[in-house]
Amino acid sequence: MSRRASDSLSLPFQGSGAVAKSAYPRSSARLLPAAWIPARFNPCDDLPRLPNGKVDRRALAPVGAALAATPPGPAFAEVAAKAAPTGEAEAPIQAALQDIWRTLLKRDRVGLDEDFFLLGGHSLLATRLVARIRDRLGVDLPLIRVFEAPTVRGLAAVLAAVLAAVH
């Protein structure tokens, strides 16, 4: 099983306490694709600064390397659980959509909550996506649905509802 990109990401943040440490993963899950959510959120009293006031990234690098050797915390497990298939009816649809997206976007992996357009999709690829969905799943999906539900999970829910209404 290949590792997600976020397995090796660590984010230092200014602040402390369990509340802040648990709030960052939850707010990140609402704002970022799953692959961009860091596995570790590391509180620090103060971020190291250069004389010009910018964050000293070189000073952060050794800390990040040391923390990368530690296992991800429970907050990451909570976010990773959200990336699992949502229901029995949607799991095969999600797998089919992921396969189609990997082909169209020329990517090795596609997460359930990654945005089609943020991964490099555009309107012409969206029309190809609709055509592949029609060929593979037998559903004539209006193009607007891709824009309304641009994630595998969202589009799978739309397709599951359409298929349930037909059958």
Say which CATH architecture domain 91-166 belongs to: Orthogonal Bundle (1.10)
What is the pLDDT, as a whole number, of residue 63?
Answer: 54
Residue 67: closest CA among 6, 9, 13, 4: 9
pLDDT classification of 23: cutoffs 50, 70, 90: low
Q: Which residue has the higher pLDDT, 75 or 47?
A: 47
When pLDDT is averaged across residues 113-124 and rounded to a whole number, the result is 88
Distance from C-alpha of 125 to C-alpha of 79, rounded to nearest angstrom: 29
For domain 5-82, give the CATH number. Answer: 3.30.300
Residues of the chain with CATH 3.30.300: 5-82
Asked if the model's pLDDT at residue 37 lies above 70, the reply is no
Asked if the model's pLDDT at residue 42 lies above 70, the reply is no
Distance from C-alpha of 30 to C-alpha of 34, rounded to nearest angstrom: 9
When pLDDT is averaged across residues 12-40 and rounded to a whole number, the result is 63
Asked if the model's pLDDT at residue 9 lies above 70, the reply is no
pLDDT digits 0-9 by tens, 122-160: 999 999 999 999 999 998 999 999 988 899 999 998 898
Asked if the model's pLDDT at residue 6 lies above 50, the reply is no
What is the pLDDT, as a whole number, of residue 94?
Answer: 92
What would the two tokens of residue 145 be? Answer: 């649905």
Residues of the chain with CATH 1.10.1200.10: 91-166
Backbone angles phi, psi at 110, to 5 degrees: -140, 125
What is the pLDDT, as a whole number, of residue 90?
Answer: 76
